[in-house]
Structure 1
Amino acid sequence: MGEPQEGLEFVIVLNDASGRDSDQDLPARIRAWLGERGHRVRVHGLDRDGDVVSACKAAAKDARQRSAILVACGGDGTINAVAREALDAGVPLGLLPRGTFNYFGRAHGIPSDLEPALEILVREPARPAQVGLVNGRPFLVNASIGLYPELLEDREGWKRRIGRHRAVAIISGLHTLLRDHRLWSIEIDDGSGRRRLRTPTLVVGNNPLQFARLGIDGAERIGRDALAAVTLRAIGKLGLLGLTLRGALGRLGEADDVSIRLVRSLSVSLGRPGRRVKVALDGEITRMRTPLEFSIAKRPLLVRAPHPATSGDDPG
């Protein structure tokens, strides 16, 4: 880890609803820790019922005007929203991960524990991070259609009723997999020719750590010079459960029912052009018009982190 830098200014976008428990003292703790070390801090809180996009735009504008570091404090969805504005504003991004899985932060060596993450914030330089795009919208971890957005929606419903724990995410996921699922008829083109297929889901990933944990060959390229496009064959409930078990054991890449391609761009058509479909971006659900055009952003996001995205050295 590098030496502490002095006199930094941070504009922090804080979503205290992320993660396992709400921490009413979190803003004060962050201000105190950074203030004691001579840094200046401004905190923009996110209101659950407010306009998240406008709040993040305002924070990014604030950071640009002050030549400050824009910081996302929350889960992958919050980080995505803040990163989008950091990319547009051309300001560096810092991370204080607070979510359930925190794939983006973990891939860059940033832990969920507050004080170690703050140490990284004041010591490490800004490093380039690959950004995926779908129809121009950035994603850092993955973007998906079909079954995966269903899993996310069901998981959020369970979490609202029971709490934000990884065990809840696992149980809700199993519950979703045991339901009947539609098969999507899609046409994909990764530059090597168009292919038609029927699949319950398409996931396009930008996170090497997530795919390495699943046992995917070539995971070290994901998030550096490639995206991973994953589709499943038309299989039943038991087949889906079997794939889930393989993924938990880090052997998903061995499954015959899974197709994985490393791509730099991907065009996905679903019937008539202009159709609106549900898309999950880093755990948040939105709707987009088809065709879906996936690519790698020409300009990287600058993230204060110990190292670029990697499939190893998970800080937890």
Structure 2
Amino acid sequence: MPVPPIADAPLFVVLNAASGSGDAADTHALISRLLAESGRRHRVAITQPGLRIAELARRMVSQAMAEGGVVVAAGGDGTINAVAQAAHDAGCPMGVLPQGTFNYFSRSHGIPLDTAQAIRALIDARVEPVQVGQVNEQVFLVNASLGLYPDLLEDREQFKSRFGRHRAVALVAAIATVMRAHRLLRLSIELDGVVRDLRTPTLFVGNNRLQLEQVGIPQASAIEHGRIAAVMLRPLGTAALLGLLLRGALGTLGDAERVVSFEFQRMTVTPSLPYGTRGVKVALDGEVRRMRSPLEFRVSGRPLYLLKPQPVQQATPAADAIAAATAGGA
């Protein structure tokens, strides 16, 4: 059951200057102004050159824990993941002010995409436990993958740096990625005590019902029952890959013959890597990194304590102050 709101807990905001399409200084000013008008104690830290977002997140979580506060991620999927990792490790409550492109995690939990509205929701929010996926010791909230999908994400970032952070740009980047030749992954997968060797262009593990439903994966509902979903492709050519991309856009990916999907709680994956390769490329919530093999995908035994919006009719006086301040403006 949800616990009562943390009405007076100070908020420690991690703001990624590179997230979103607006100016970080403007976002900082908006957050500070609205929280000050609500009477909520807060501190905002903006990412700086040379300081990794993960390190800043750990610092802010440490401060939040010392003062009985809440850490808040203001950024895209990568920022939210970094803050979630630190918050999950420490057992610290966490809030989100979404600044990304797709914002699957925020949308799944009813968090407004407009910054001013998200701040209002944060003031009223209740702490609720939410499911977390893990690869080895790394947290993921939306998805984790290897193979074709991490390549797609890297291409997408290059396209966005040139053409802007828009969904149409992401689609063009996906088509460009699929058009290139890709080697098949050779994976040894241990699931429920059975080991299977297979080849696939990509392995995708989802922990977000909304994203899985959008592309038509039938195991999407498993996310609400303590499980996560895996999606793999059988070996196929470029034309067939483009066809699957279209199916995903239409929400019918799960019906394709070359797509294999299943739900699980724990799965160990051992890739066959070329000699001299240092780890396997894994994408976690849109951020690509190298990880040591084998990879253990699992549902974490501990939840993330997320500040989720209350129904509108339960708004507090502090939230009413925010509403008045933002009416017709921010």
Amino acid across the alignment from 1:113: D
In structure 2, the residue matched to 1:310 is: none
The residue aligned with 1:248 is: 249
Q: Which structure has more helix as a fraction of its residues?
A: 2
Equivalent in 284, 287, 295 of residue 287 of structure 2: 284
Q: Does structure 1 conserve the Cα–Cα contact (< 8 Å) formed by 2:146 and 2:281?
A: yes
The code of the aligned residue for 2:295 comes to L
Deviation at 1:180, TM superposition (A): 0.5
Residues in 2 aligned to 1:127 and 1:6: alpha-carbon distance in whole angstroms: 14
CA separation of 1:69/1:15 partners in 2, compared to 1, >3 Å: closer, same or farther? Answer: same
Q: Report the equivalent of 1:258.
A: 259
Q: Which amino acid aligns with 2:202?
A: T
Q: Any gaps of 5 or more consecutive residues in structure 2? A: 311-330
Q: How many residues align?
A: 306
CA displacement 1:71-112 (0-9 Å, x = unmatched): 000001100000111111211000000001111111111121
The match for 1:170 is 171
Q: CA deviation at 1:192?
A: 4.9
8 Å CA contact 1:132, 1:294 repeated in 2: yes
Does the residue aligned with 1:43 lie in a helix, a strand or coil?
strand
Residues 5 and 129 (structure 1), Cα distance of their counterparts in 2 relative to 1, 3 Å cut: closer
Normalised by the length of structure 1, the TM-score is: 0.92
Q: Secondary structure at the match of 1:110?
A: coil
Q: CA deviation at 1:47?
A: 2.2
Q: What one-letter code is carried by the residue in structure 2 that aligns with 1:282?
A: D
Name the stretch that deviates more: 220-229 or 70-79.
220-229
Secondary structure at the aligned position of 1:96 is classed as strand
Larger Rg: 2
* Residue equivalent to 1:313: none
Do residues 302 (structure 1) and 279 (structure 2) align? no
How far off is 1:163 after superposition? 1.3
CA distance in 1, matches of 2:127, 2:212: 24
Q: Which residue of 1 aligns with 2:87?
A: 86
* SS of residue matched to 2:13: strand
Give the AA of the match of 2:235. Answer: A
1:269 is aligned to: 270
Backbone CA RMSD of aligned residues: 1.9
Letter in 2 for 1:252: L
Change (3 A) 1:172 1:87: same
Who is 2:230 aligned against?
Answer: 229
- Residue 256 of structure 1 aligns with an amino acid whose one-letter code is E
Q: Which amino acid aligns with 1:279?
A: V
Residue in structure 2 matched with residue 312 of structure 1 by the alignment: none
Shift in Å at residue 51 of structure 1?
2.0
Structure 2 matches for 1:1-316, cutoff 5 A?
A: 6-222=7-223, 224-271=225-272, 276-306=279-309
Indicate the residue corresponding to 2:315 in structure 1.
none
Gapped runs of 5+ residues in structure 1?
Answer: 308-316
Alpha carbons of structure 1 residues 261 and 252: separation in structure 2 relative to 1, 3 Å: same
Deviations 1:99-147 (A, max 9, x none): 0111111111112111221122111211111111111111111111100
Q: Secondary structure of 2:257's match? A: coil
Q: Distance in 2 between matches of 1:176 and 1:252?
A: 18
Deviation of the 1:164 alpha carbon: 1.2
> For 1:200 and 1:281, how far apart are their aligned partners in 2?
17
Structure 1: which amino acid aligns with 2:289?
A: T
TM-score (norm 2): 0.88
Query: How far 1:270 sits from its partner (Å)?
Result: 1.3
C-alpha distance in 2 between matches for 1:50 and 1:3: 35
SS in 1 for 2:218: coil
